[in-house]
Amino acid sequence: MRKYSIFSLARNALSHHENWWQAWRSPEPKKRYDAVIIGGGGHGLSTAYYLAKEHGMTNIAVIEKGWLGGGNTGRNTTIIRSNYLWTASAGIYEKGLKLWEGITQEVNFNMMLSQRGVLNLGHNLQDMRTIERRVNANRLNGVDGVVLNAQQVKEMVPIINTSETNTRFPVLGSSYQPRGGIARHDALAWGMARACDDLGIDVIQQCEVTGIRREDGQVTGVDTTKGFIETNKVGAVTAGNSGVIADMAGIRLPVQSRPLQALVSEPIKPVIDTVVMSGAVHVYISQSDKGELVIGAGVDKYNGYGQKGSISVIEEQLAALVELYPIVSRLRLLRHWAGCVDVCPDASPLLTKTPVDGLYFNCGWGTGGWKATLGSGWCFAHTIANDEPHPLNEAFSMKRFETGAVIDEHGAAGVAH
Ligand SMILES: Cc1cc2nc3c(=O)[nH]c(=O)nc-3n(C[C@H](O)[C@H](O)[C@H](O)COP(=O)(O)OP(=O)(O)OC[C@H]3O[C@@H](n4cnc5c(N)ncnc54)[C@H](O)[C@@H]3O)c2cc1C
């Protein structure tokens, strides 16, 4: 891999940046691969990367129907953290956070990781009890976290309204994970595509998977808009479209696809240097490097595959925002957008084998999979390469909905599902 560095920057400046090398190839699909990953989002690309890096499988392809990161990877609000309640969740999300901490150096691409901390607000006594329980559970699992009172929240976030008299949902305190923060989403897609390409993986865009062929219960290949590709291992990492891919193989997944919206304000001077979330009033906020306030909310309350949501969610989100941060009331919105998220009934993901041999699913990350991108890819690569889950993702199989061993993370999700 040719390295990006201060020297390559200076050299290319001399030729007006017109001679930068190509970051990755755009190959035509081969007839056969040892594994095919469907979905060129962060999870699909990182799965392919770790398949090659950790398991030596380099004859693989990532098939993306649109452009890299054009799904939820490029549409999220970039928050990363690992402070989930249950031990199984702490394992996989913390693995993800640790990988985030090293990935910039590892793949020589600046992911703009900013560990500016994440606060989850509590607005009533029960919120505060669950926050205390979760922070204690986090610490037992080796995940950093502290509980803050309202005054400490105010010191950290001066623009927040902590008045107990003129708010419907007063701020009583919060959890705080100092190692949480944000990372740049398009950088992840491009950096991992470049790293995949360097390891010999074919990253194929504008190619839609339209069918999954099976013989005697074993995957034999995928039909695509660029022809049939033979393979005995298929990893489906298609977020909101996972149910559609499952249908191609005659499987039903316990996921529902819903729109999830986000928006940004016009850019302003720095006013907030951390990330603040509130599951109770359904709004969260951070500030981008450009100065925009990045604002997110809960899912729209209907199923669908459209990447657009309804105005009522924005209205509720902005009402909550203005109550919590009165100084934003005169700000103009710059743009808003939506993704299509796949939500499991217990708000935890699926990284699972299926009744079809050689077909694996990594989905159900709902509103919170960005932070887990690398941990998810790392575990899923192990699952595909060895045909069995890694201990870190064993609990996240489809079987939990038969056995009842669900992993209920609704309380730790940033926003309500
Ligand atoms: C508005 C919004 C805000 C969010 N905020 C956060 C946040 O702050 N923190 C957080 O942790 N998470 C957040 N999330 C969730 C997070 O973005 C996702 O969980 C995560 O990015 C999913 O990544 P992925 O690679 O699995 O999916 P995607 O990036 O959606 O990739 C799936 C890819 O599969 C492709 N595909 C689908 N069908 C086919 C087919 N038939 N053939 C070929 N390709 C196909 C799609 O085109 C897509 O590119 C947010 C999501 C949204 C929408």
Does 14 reside within a domain? no
Which of 344, 323, 322 is closest to 331 using CA atoms? Answer: 322
Atom of ligand 1 nearest to the CA of 67: 49
> Helical H runs in 57-169?
87-107, 125-140, 150-156
Residue 171 sits in a domain whose CATH number is: 3.30.9.10
Domain-terminating residue out of 303, 325, 343:
343
Residue 26 and residue 196 in contact, taking contact as beta carbons nearer than 8 Å: no
Does 415 reside within a domain? no
d(CA 296, CA 78): 10
Which of 285, 76, 284, 80 is closest to 180 using CA atoms? Answer: 80
Instruction: Tell whether ligand 1 has an atom less than 6 A from the beta carbon of residue 64.
Output: yes
Task: Provide the pLDDT for residue 415.
Answer: 65
Domain-terminating residue out of 325, 343, 361:
343
Are 152 and 237 found together in one domain? no
Task: Provide the pLDDT for residue 416.
Answer: 58
Atom of ligand 1 nearest to the CA of 237: 26
Are 126 and 69 found together in one domain? no
Which of 311, 317, 327, 337 is closest to 277 using CA atoms? Answer: 317
Residue 84 and residue 412 in contact, taking contact as beta carbons nearer than 8 Å: yes
Q: φ, ψ for residue 360 (rounded to 5)?
A: -125, 145
Q: Looking up tokens 């909310």, which residue turns up?
A: 297
Helix (H, G, I), strand (E, B) or coil at 150: helix
Q: Looking up tokens 């609000």, which residue turns up?
A: 77
How far is the centre of ligand 1, averaged over its atoms, from the C-alpha of 186 (Å)? 12
β strands within 98-242, DSSP E: 118-122, 146-149, 173-177, 181-182, 202-204, 209-215, 218-224, 227-230, 234-236
- 363: number of CA atoms within 13 Å, CB side? 34
Residue 195 sits in a domain whose CATH number is: 3.50.50.60
Does 302 reside within a domain? yes
Instruction: Tell whether ligand 1 has an atom less than 6 A from the beta carbon of residue 41.
Output: yes
> Measuring CA to CA, how many Å separate 5 from each of 107, 108, 286?
12, 9, 29
d(CA 402, CA 86): 19
Are 352 and 332 found together in one domain? no
Q: Looking up tokens 């008299």, which residue turns up?
A: 165
d(CA 64, CA 62): 6
How far is the centre of ligand 1, averaged over its atoms, from the C-alpha of 395 (Å)? 22
Residue 251 and residue 358 in contact, taking contact as beta carbons nearer than 8 Å: no
The structure's pTM equals 0.97
Domain-terminating residue out of 343, 366, 385:
343
Which of 278, 387, 314, 289 is closest to 397 using CA atoms? Answer: 387
Are 294 and 381 found together in one domain? no
How far is the centre of ligand 1, averaged over its atoms, from the C-alpha of 303 (Å)? 16
Does 198 reside within a domain? yes
Name the residue at shortest CA distance from atom 49 of ligand 1.
71
Helix (H, G, I), strand (E, B) or coil at 275: strand
Q: Which two tokens stand for residue 410?
A: 């609704």
**Total count of domains within the chain:** 2
Task: Provide the pLDDT for residue 393.
Answer: 98
d(CA 180, CA 88): 19
Residue 95 and residue 136 in contact, taking contact as beta carbons nearer than 8 Å: no
Instruction: Tell whether ligand 1 has an atom less than 6 A from the beta carbon of residue 100.
Output: no
Contacts of 168 (CB under 8 A, 6+ apart): 323
Are 139 and 162 found together in one domain? yes
What residue numbers bound the domain in which 275 lies?
118-181+257-343
Instruction: Tell whether ligand 1 has an atom less than 6 A from the beta carbon of residue 239.
Output: yes
- How does DSSP classify residue 365? B
Does 408 reside within a domain? no
How far is the centre of ligand 1, averaged over its atoms, from the C-alpha of 245 (Å)? 15
Residue from 210, 238, 293, 337 to probe ligand 1 pocket by mutation (most atoms less than 8 Å from CB): 238
- How does DSSP classify residue 355? S
Are 219 and 199 found together in one domain? yes
Instruction: Tell whether ligand 1 has an atom less than 6 A from the beta carbon of residue 368.
Output: yes
d(CA 349, CA 395): 10
Are 50 and 149 found together in one domain? no
Are 143 and 210 found together in one domain? no
Does 386 reside within a domain? yes
Low-confidence ranges of the chain (pLDDT < 70): 414-417
How far is the centre of ligand 1, averaged over its atoms, from the C-alpha of 40 (Å)? 9
Are 90 and 191 found together in one domain? yes
Q: Which two tokens stand for residue 285?
A: 């906020």
- How does DSSP classify residue 67? -
Residue from 367, 371, 373, 374 to probe ligand 1 pocket by mutation (most atoms less than 8 Å from CB): 367
How far is the centre of ligand 1, averaged over its atoms, from the C-alpha of 114 (Å)? 21
Does 201 reside within a domain? yes
Instruction: Supply the mean pLDDT for the chain.
Output: 96
Are 160 and 126 found together in one domain? yes
Centre a 10 Å sphere on the Cβ of residue 140 and count the other Cβ atoms it contains: 10
Task: Provide the pLDDT for residue 116.
Answer: 98
Are 193 and 159 found together in one domain? no
Instruction: Tell whether ligand 1 has an atom less than 6 A from the beta carbon of residue 84.
Output: no
> Helical H runs in 332-417?
373-386, 400-403
Task: Provide the pLDDT for residue 276.
Answer: 97
Which of 234, 246, 254 is closest to 387 using CA atoms? Answer: 234
Does 142 reside within a domain? yes
- How does DSSP classify residue 114? B
Are 75 and 165 found together in one domain? no
